[in-house]
Amino acid sequence: QVQLGESGGGLVQAGGSLRLSCKVSGVTFNYYTMGWFRQAPGNERQFVSAITWGGNTNYADSVKGRFTTSRDNAKNTMYLQMNSLKPEDTAVYYCAGRRFGDLTSTPRDYNYWGQGTQVTVSS
């Protein structure tokens, strides 16, 4: 059974940092392109970043230079380091997996999803 579990969310002041983790089980993690998405109330799910098994990455313009995605294939875990957080970064953050896929920002291209973790940035 495929499981993706996010952790690391919380409440932080503007300008602060958080590190999210996504632990994956039930699949061969190396075969998967992984992505981070976020969704604020009343908004559509929005692409944040993606990373291939080999470490190639892609970012949304809104987070470039502030967020960094990485993965540890030995630990079946992906990370999202978020720095210089802004109130507009407030959302539920989801990790997603796509088997043998290219870097893509389209949610429907991903096969598996986690339950999400709340990130709240206060002004």
- State the amino acid at position 87 in one-letter form: P
**pLDDT band with cut points at 50, 70 and 90 for residue 106:** very high
Distance CA 9, CA 11 (A): 7
- For the segment 3-14, the average pLDDT, to the nearest whole number, is 97
Q: What is the pLDDT of residues 38-74, one digit of tens each?
A: 999 999 999 999 999 889 999 999 999 999 999 999 9
Mean pLDDT, residues 88-96 taken together = 98
- Looking at residue 43, its amino acid is N
Q: Are strands 77-82 and 18-25 parallel, antiparallel or unpaired?
A: antiparallel
- pLDDT level of residue 121 (50, 70, 90 thresholds): very high
Q: Is the pLDDT at 101 greater than 90, yes or no?
A: no
Asked whether the beta carbons of 4 and 113 are under 8 A apart, the reply is yes
Contact 84, 115 (CB under 8 A): no
